[in-house]
Every structure is written in C-alpha cells, then in structure tokens.
C-alpha cells in the first residue's frame, strides 16, 4: 500500500513539473502545448474555482497562448463571472506592478482592466472591498500610453478607473483622500499636453521596455493535410491484341 502511495505521489509531482515546463514556454513545443491547454480552459469558462489558473496563464506573456485562452470573447468581460474579492484584486495589482510598461500584450491588460473597471464602477464599494494603495494606483497609471490617445481601449479602461477613483474625495479619511487626489493628478497629466506622466508618477515605474521576443508556434495544419493520400487504384491489365478468331473474321465478312 505504501509503495503504491509513493508511486502515486511521484506521478503527481512529475505531472505538475511537466505542466510548469509547458507554461514556461521556453521552446516551440512547450508553446504549442500551452496553447492547447489554454483552449481547454477556455472551453470550461472562468469560474471562481479555476480563476487562479486563468490568471496564471495571463502571466505567461506569450500572446498566442493568451489569445487561445480568450478566444472570440471580449477580453474586457472575461472575468465578469467571477465574484470580486480581495484576493483577486491583490493578484491583479501585483500583475500590474510586475509588468514593465510596454512589455505586456494589450490582450493581457484588457482582461484584468475589465475586472478593475467593473469593480470600481461603484468606487466606494470597490474601495471598501480592497483599499487600493498609492503604489498600486501608480502601477495602474503607468500603463497609460499618452501617444495613443484616449480612444485606445487600454487607455480608455485605465482612464475610466481613474475617473471613478478620483471621486473618493474624503477629508476625514486621509488614505482615501490621497487616492482620490492622485487618481485625478494622473488623469489630468494624461490629458494635459504641457505635462509629462513622470510629473505625477515615479519615473522608475515609467521606464518603457520593448516587448521581449515571444516564441511563435508553428502554423497549424488541417488534420487532412497531415494524412497520407491513399495510393491510386491500379487499372486492370488490358488484353494484348492478338490474331482474330475465325468466327470474328467470318462476322466481319
């Protein structure tokens, strides 16, 4: 019994280790396996139970994998089925802080910004659920791209969040009041052509990085393309032309 338990535990460890290597996406085979895994998750849909797994896929930073996870749905609505909670928000703000400006795919950002925009659409309820810190607010604002304008979907989502948070003005609560003031300052700096974003956000956060080279999967071939074509059926042998029989010769006369 103990030997079987040891084997089962060893298999579990190997399966987890294999999945971790797949999700690291360090080679083409791993990327393709991660895409298949993401498609499987997408077929299940996001639930409160599997939401952490979806978030872990977003952290892979491979756009082909993330696009497979999102599929044809609106990325801004992808997490709409998940009940907001402090753990979800803490994870989202950690991702925003970890992702350097300009390095992450707009699809990744769209998924988590959609959740933030929904949660803070009622600012006080959102703040009571998760009191955002000044550092977290700056991590959100750093992903604004002033060159792309307010109609850019990612910019629009961030600006909507800042607008809602700026309404939290509350002199009796210094922490909340500071969030309101900073959200307004970031928003104003974006719209004011005379100001730079580093005037209101620490410059160390705004260092832009080029998106790192992502490993691209091979072109997917249709199943029929990979199948060998059946060999052509051989034609039956023809009779060799010979001397006509006497009966045939008589008929011709």
Question: Is pLDDT at 115 greater than 50 in this prediction?
Answer: yes
Q: Is the dihedral of CA 80, 82, 85, 88 positive or negative?
A: negative
Gap between the Cα atoms of 111 and 107, Å rounded: 6
Do 95 and 165 fall into the same domain?
yes
Higher per-residue confidence, 141 vs 102? 141
Residue 252 belongs to some domain of the structure: no
Residue 238 belongs to some domain of the structure: no
pLDDT in the model for residue 248: 47
pLDDT in the model for residue 61: 81
Do 88 and 52 fall into the same domain?
no
pLDDT in the model for residue 251: 47
Domains identified in the chain, total number? 2
What single-letter DSSP state applies at residue 200?
T
Q: Are 115 and 79 in contact (CB under 8 A)?
A: yes
Residue 16 belongs to some domain of the structure: yes
Compute CA 43 distance to the chain's CA centroid, rounded to the nearest angstrom.
15
pLDDT in the model for residue 15: 87
Question: Is pLDDT at 95 greater than 70 in this prediction?
Answer: yes
Q: Are 133 and 176 in contact (CB under 8 A)?
A: no
pLDDT digits (tens, 9 = 90+) for 51-91: 999 999 998 889 899 999 999 999 999 999 899 999 999 99
Residue 244 belongs to some domain of the structure: no
pLDDT in the model for residue 123: 95
Q: What is the mean pLDDT of residues 102-129?
A: 94
Do 93 and 202 fall into the same domain?
yes
pLDDT digits (tens, 9 = 90+) for 189-215: 999 999 999 999 999 998 876 666 788
Q: What percent of the chain has pLDDT over 70?
A: 81
Q: How high does pLDDT run on average in the chain?
A: 86
Higher per-residue confidence, 185 vs 8? 185
> Which of 36-45, 135-144, 238-247 is predicted least confidently?
238-247
Q: What percent of the chain has pLDDT over 90?
A: 64
Task: Say what angle helices 134-141 and 153-165 make with each other, to 10 degrees.
Answer: 150
Question: Is pLDDT at 240 greater than 60 in this prediction?
Answer: no
Residue 12 belongs to some domain of the structure: yes
Residue 157 belongs to some domain of the structure: yes
Question: Is pLDDT at 186 greater than 70 in this prediction?
Answer: yes
pLDDT tier at 108, thresholds 50, 70, 90:
very high
Question: Is pLDDT at 7 greater than 60 in this prediction?
Answer: yes
Do 136 and 58 fall into the same domain?
no
Question: Is pLDDT at 239 greater than 80 in this prediction?
Answer: no
Which residue, 191, 208, 225, sits at the end of a domain? Answer: 208
Length of the chain: 253
Compute CA 97 distance to the chain's CA centroid, rounded to the nearest angstrom.
17
Q: What is the mean pLDDT of residues 99-119?
A: 93
Domain that includes residue 203, residue range: 84-208
Gap between the Cα atoms of 131 and 98, Å rounded: 19
Q: Are 104 and 63 in contact (CB under 8 A)?
A: no
Do 67 and 88 fall into the same domain?
no
CB atoms within 10 A of CB 113: 25
């Amino acid at each position: 019994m103990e030997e079987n338990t040891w084997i089962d535990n060893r298999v579990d460890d190997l399966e987890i280790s294999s999945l971790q290597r797949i999700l690291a996406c360090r080679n083409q085979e791993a990327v393709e396996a991660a895409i298949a895994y993401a498609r499987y998750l997408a077929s299940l849909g996001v639930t409160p139970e599997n939401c952490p797994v979806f978030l872990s896929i977003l952290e892979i930073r491979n756009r082909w994998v993330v696009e497979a996870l999102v599929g044809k749905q609106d990325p801004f609505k992808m997490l709409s089925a998940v009940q907001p909670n402090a753990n979800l928000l803490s994870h989202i703000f950690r991702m925003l802080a970890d992702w350097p400006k300009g390095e992450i795919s707009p699809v990744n950002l769209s998924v988590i910004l959609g959740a933030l925009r929904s949660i803070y659409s009622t600012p006080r309820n959102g703040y009571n659920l998760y009191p955002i810190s000044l550092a977290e607010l700056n991590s959100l604002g750093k992903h604004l791209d002033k060159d792309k304008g307010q109609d850019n979907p990612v910019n629009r989502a961030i600006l909507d969040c800042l607008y809602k948070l700026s309404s939290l003005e509350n002199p009796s609560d210094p922490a909340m009041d500071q969030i309101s003031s900073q959200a307004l300052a970031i928003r104003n700096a974006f719209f004011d052509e005379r100001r730079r974003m580093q005037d209101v956000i620490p410059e160390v956060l705004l260092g832009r990085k080029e998106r790192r080279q992502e490993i691209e999967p091979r072109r997917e071939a249709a199943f029929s393309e990979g199948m060998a074509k059946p060999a052509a059926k051989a034609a039956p042998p023809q009779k060799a032309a010979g001397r006509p029989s006497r009966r045939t010769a008589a008929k011709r006369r």
